[in-house]
Structure 1
Amino acid sequence: MKLKLFFAGLMSAASLAAAESCLGGGSKVSTSEVQKALSGILGNAKVVSVSNAPISGLYEVVIESGGRKVPIYVDCNLKYLVNGEIIDINKKVSLTRERLQQLQSQANSEKEEKLVKILGKDKVEMLKKEGLLEAVNIVDLKSIPKSNVAYGNGNIKIYVITDPQCPYCAKLHEEIKKVLAQRKDVSFEMIMYPLPFHKHASGIAQNIICQNDNAAKQKILDAAFSYTAKGDENGLTSLEKPCNAGKQAIDNNLKYGQANGINGTPTIIFPKGVAISGALPADKLNKLIDILK
């Protein structure tokens, strides 16, 4: 939440005049030094570059979180952080917004190049046609945690980062059932990812993980999504059953998500590590499965 508020604060106005930079004197800090200085503020965001800022006495620091790069500004001694936009008064333009657009364009180009190597040009063009290229993230499939509950028996494995108390996850769950009713070549591997602001989610996820039988796991998750859709707090409470093995598995799942820029649920991970967040409808899921299988 701190990081989201921090990003939101970047859009506040701060009019400053252009001049020299921190690097004018020949000294430059490293990305690791800036990362250390800002560690208490940036959370899981990573410092990717340090360069001249458009005004005197500041560095421009580009940070990355969840595949998004954002410019922020710190003073030359790393004591102060400027939370706002740099505006060119004469041109009446936000230099920060221009830089954001430049970074986004660069990120999209880099992502497209990676996707072409992974998928081939034809499939990337199909993603563009579906209007999903910007929404796509690339994650590491080799280190993905073990599935906590599975639906379907097909050879095409689709991983779903999900929260048993997430309303959008409940919506996606119904769409997944529609897909499974239409095709037998796919299986959905659910990875429990309880968000901290859902008070029942962790206890329910632990209960699911600690069941020995997949059918029992499905029964609990199906019930959790049903109660979530109806806003039934008592029903959700009845499904909570913490266990040590479940807690350890969830900790591992959360570490994977944080390392791969997964910031919310549901997130769907298709073959070859192509990830898209959101409750996609069944027809869109089917198209993406066919494109990415």
Structure 2
Amino acid sequence: MNKLWLLLWLSILACSSQASVESVQAQLKQKYPNLRIDNIQQTEMSGIYSASLDNQIVYIGENAEYILVGSMLRLKDQRNLTKDLVMKQQHIDWKKLPLQDAIKTVKGNGRRQIAVFSDPNCPYCKQLENQLNQLTNVTIYTFIYPIRNQSIQASKQIWCQPNPAFAWHNLIQKGIVPQTIAACPNPIERNLQLGQKLGVEGTPTLFFSNGFKAVGMQTAPQIEALWKEFGM
């Protein structure tokens, strides 16, 4: 397998010539018009470009004939450049999040912060909620994000309850539907627009206070491990 990878890299480099992001894009469009590849960028390695394909980092030769999936490591300091690229592409500006549109839950001293986009009818969101309950010293901002049509009305009703946080936890953890009350101004439509802007395509999706995005159900140990890695 290692020999195969080496041969692929050498074949890409052998075809290297003067190129640019624009020329690689043009070749891809001409040769493979149905292949959606985004975020094409030059890398530190001559003749190799990074890109996004199906939400993962891939590498393309400048002749647009080969794609490789894996990590690019810089030998002089053993830095994982692919990991850096993932962090950069999935990074948001935490300070720009409209936290007033989220349900706020404080546990312990609330020092660590995390934002969660969650649909009340999402089974993985319910599993995540159980994991979030195991965390300590955290402030959780829950953006109700009803990507399922049947979730929209319940989401609005949750926000209009006297205690939205209590209503949310009753619904997501116990399946207790909120009491029907008069409609009130709510952020549900804004949350849907915000999620689309941030590239939230499914629930649950988590954002850490350093801007890192994590997609899918995360266990409490996984979240703790990420906090440790981020120095939080």
TM tier relative to shorter chain: 0.5 to 0.7
Pick aligned residue for 1:191 from 117, 135, 143: 143
Pair 1:50–1:104, CA change in 2 (3 A): farther
Residue of structure 2 equivalent to 1:149: 103
**Within the alignment, does 1:253 sit opposite 2:191 as a pair?**
yes
Contact 1:206 1:241 in 2 (8 A): no
Could you say what the CA RMSD is over the residues aligned between the two structures, in angstroms?
3.6
Task: State the alpha-carbon separation in 1 of the partners of residues 97 and 182 from structure 2.
Answer: 23
Give how far 1:166 is off: 1.1
Pick aligned residue for 1:219 from 161, 166, 184: 166
Task: State the alpha-carbon separation in 2 of the partners of residues 165 and 219 from structure 1.
Answer: 17
Paired-residue identity, %: 23
**Within the alignment, does 1:280 sit opposite 2:218 as a pair?**
yes
Give how far 1:104 is off: 7.7
Going by fraction, where is helix more abundant, 1 or 2?
Answer: 1
Give how far 1:263 is off: 0.6
Contact 2:120 2:172 in 1 (8 A): yes
TM-score norm. by structure 2 comes to 0.62
**Within the alignment, does 1:209 sit opposite 2:165 as a pair?**
no
Give how far 1:156 is off: 1.8
Give how far 1:289 is off: 2.1
Task: State the alpha-carbon separation in 2 of the partners of residues 50 and 143 from structure 1.
Answer: 35
For this pair of structures, how many residues does the alignment match?
Answer: 179
Pair 1:244–1:111, CA change in 2 (3 A): farther
Contact 1:137 1:275 in 2 (8 A): yes
Give how far 1:53 is off: 5.3
Give how far 1:267 is off: 0.9
Pair 1:161–1:240, CA change in 2 (3 A): farther
Task: State the alpha-carbon separation in 2 of the partners of residues 104 and 51 from structure 1.
Answer: 22
TM-score norm. by structure 1 comes to 0.51
Pair 1:242–1:168, CA change in 2 (3 A): farther
Gaps of 5+ in 1: 1-29, 31-47, 71-95, 119-135, 229-234
Residue identity in the other structure for 2:130: E
Residue of structure 2 equivalent to 1:130: none
